[in-house]
Amino acid sequence: MTTKLIREQVYIPGPRGRLVGELSYPDNTTANAVVLIANPHPLMGGAIANNVIERLAMDLPAHGCVTLRFDYGGVGHSGGDPIDVAGNMRQFWETGTSPADPGMAQEVDCASNWLRSQLDLPQVGIGYSFGAYALVSSVVDRLASLILISPTIARHDFSPLSAAGRPTMVIYSDDDFATPVETTQHWLESLSPPASSHMLTGGEHFYRGMEPHIVKLCADFIVQTISEGGGA
């Protein structure tokens, strides 16, 4: 039986105006988990139409998940002033971080709360690139488990992850421009409790053509952690 996908546009109250997102869920299967997906940085093109984000949002429902992806404020149809490229780019050019970063982490927090108010199911977070930081810095305590794809550990503080002790999976590539592979592996070794991890050779940071493989890894991890009843 094929799973019919329902896609519903949703509006989430955010600190800078309403965030526009898309909730995707299976029509004829019971969902076991909700998955909150956090986008890469908008200054790097982070939006819900990103190749990895879109595939996860559309394909995970076939594995019994409800997914939520949304655009940060000022991006796509989300409210708020368009991201101030001129104001943020000088710092971003130098450091890969921007003054707007904490605001976006706060929006992830709003999305998580909204999702919780709508659906009483274990919540799993998937953060891609900057989105990994946005998740870890805002809602890690509330998640049943986390999946971090190309986390920007060379730029942002990921220390709340260990403190929360949630089951975590990390997907990274051996040729990621944002984080040298040794840095990621060293960080993985330092995590306690340890995270499971998968290195995708040649994924760069973009994983073009590898999206189905990523979906499979995420689906397996979610099924496993939910059935083990981990987390909140």
Partner 1 sequence: MITGATGFIGHTLLADLLRRDVRSAVLLRPPLDQSTRRLAGMLLELNIDLDEMLASGRVILMTGDVVRGLPEPTGLNIQSIIHCAASTRFQTDPAGEPRKTNVIGTLNLLRWAQTNNINDLHLVSSAYQCGKTNRPVPETLSKDRPHFHNPYERTKWQAERACMTWSHAKPDRVLTIYRPSIVVGEYNTGRATKFSGFYLMARASRLLAEQYDHESGNDDRHHITLRLRGRANDRQNIVPVDHVSAMIAHAFVNKRFHGQIYHLTHPDAPSNHTIQRAIEAHYNIAGGRFVDPDTFDPGVMTEMDRLFCEVSRPIEHYFMATPDFDRGLAQELQMSAGLSCPAYDTTDLQRLFTYADQHQRDRYRGATAPTPKVADTDEPDLHCDAPLYNAYFMSFLPDRVNRSKIAQATGFSVTMRFVIEDIPNGQWVCRFEQGRLIEVHHGENTFKEDFCYRTHAEVFWRSIAGNVHPQKIFLKRQARVTGNTEQALKMAMILYKFNQEFPCDRQTLMSEGASP
Give the residue, chosen from 4, 93, 99, 159, that forms a contact with partner 1 under the rule CB under 8 A: 93
Residue among 52 and 146 whose Cβ is closer to partner 1: 52
**Which two tokens mark 100?**
């707007």
- Segment 171 to 210, residues that bind partner 1, using CB under 8 A: 177-178, 204-206, 208
Write the burial class of residue 182 (CB in 10 Å: 0-12 exposed, 13-18 middle, 19+ buried).
exposed
Work out whether 65 is an interface residue with partner 1 (CB under 8 A): no
CA–CA separation, 184 vs 201, rounded Å? 14
Residue among 1 and 86 whose Cβ is closer to partner 1: 86
Give the residue, chosen from 6, 89, 163, 232, that forms a contact with partner 1 under the rule CB under 8 A: 89
**In 10 A of CB 227, how many CB atoms?**
9
Q: Are strands 65-70 and 19-26 parallel, antiparallel or unpaired?
A: antiparallel
Instruction: Provide, rounded to whole angstroms, the least separation between the CB of residue 138 and partner 1.
Output: 24
Work out whether 1 is an interface residue with partner 1 (CB under 8 A): no
Instruction: Provide, rounded to whole angstroms, the least separation between the CB of residue 104 and partner 1.
Output: 15
| Torsion region of 154: left, alpha or beta (phi above 0 gives left; psi -120 to 50 gives alpha) | alpha
Give the residue, chosen from 80, 96, 103, 122, that forms a contact with partner 1 under the rule CB under 8 A: 96
Q: Is 37 helix (H, G, I), strand (E, B) or coil?
A: strand
Backbone angles phi, psi at 165, to 5 degrees: 65, 30
Residue among 13 and 45 whose Cβ is closer to partner 1: 45
Work out whether 54 is an interface residue with partner 1 (CB under 8 A): yes
Beta bridge partners of 200: 173
For residue 210, which amino acid is it?
M
Residue among 77 and 186 whose Cβ is closer to partner 1: 77
Residues of the shown chain interacting with partner 1 in the complex, contacts defined by CB under 8 A: 7, 9, 22, 43-45, 48-51, 54, 85-87, 89-90, 92-93, 96, 177-178, 204-206, 208
